[in-house]
Amino acid sequence: MIVGYARVSTQDQNLQLQIDALQNAGCFEIFEEKITGMKKDRPELNEMLKMLRAGDRVVVYKLDRISRSTKHLIELAELFEEKEVEFVSVQDNIDTSTAMGRFFFRIMASIAELERDIISDRTRAGLSAARSRGRKGGRPKIAQKKIELALKMYHSKQYSIREIVIASGVSQATIYRELNNV
């Protein structure tokens, strides 16, 4: 059986490009996930790995869609080899059913990890440069007076949460978080 795995990092991103490519590769079943690749526990990936049998073929759009690191990619490759499962990466032109495919797979895994590390280093450097110019980043803090107003309104029991949110400008989540801290 040919199975596919498609993943994007955030709920806002779209899986359709990957799904189209996996369908074109003949995937019978496609496991879809909207979760960061840095998370070790990915339910759909785990479900796919459990159901694989000898002779199956796993297809992904790109290597970075299935793995967190070179180490993880190599672990997956070893698992596939142990289960006698072929692995194909459409965009990277990798097919582990060949010796050259297995070799190229390991080289590309190293390059993919290097690329991710470089992006991470650039991001950290950019954040550091912004901090040195006085920029803090992140969400702006809510004025304590607004939070106090929201809590007073809540405790008065005269307003709904929706009314409190509109009047104070404090989100529902922040109101409940502050109530739990009291």
Q: Which positions are annotated as active-site residues?
A: 9
Instruction: At 165, list the tokens.
Output: 């949110």
Q: Which residues have a Cβ under 8 Å from the Cβ of 65 and sit 6 or more positions away?
A: 5, 6, 7, 18, 37
d(CA 109, CA 100): 14
Q: Is 126 helix (H, G, I), strand (E, B) or coil?
A: helix
Report the Cα 108 to chain-centroid distance in Å.
20
Asked whether the beta carbons of 100 and 107 are under 8 A apart, the reply is no
Instruction: At 112, list the tokens.
Output: 């993919």
Burial of 46 by CB count in 10 Å (0-12 exposed, 13-18 middle, 19+ buried)? exposed
Give start and end residues of each alpha helix (H) in the chain. 16-24, 43-51, 70-82, 99-132, 144-156, 161-168, 172-181
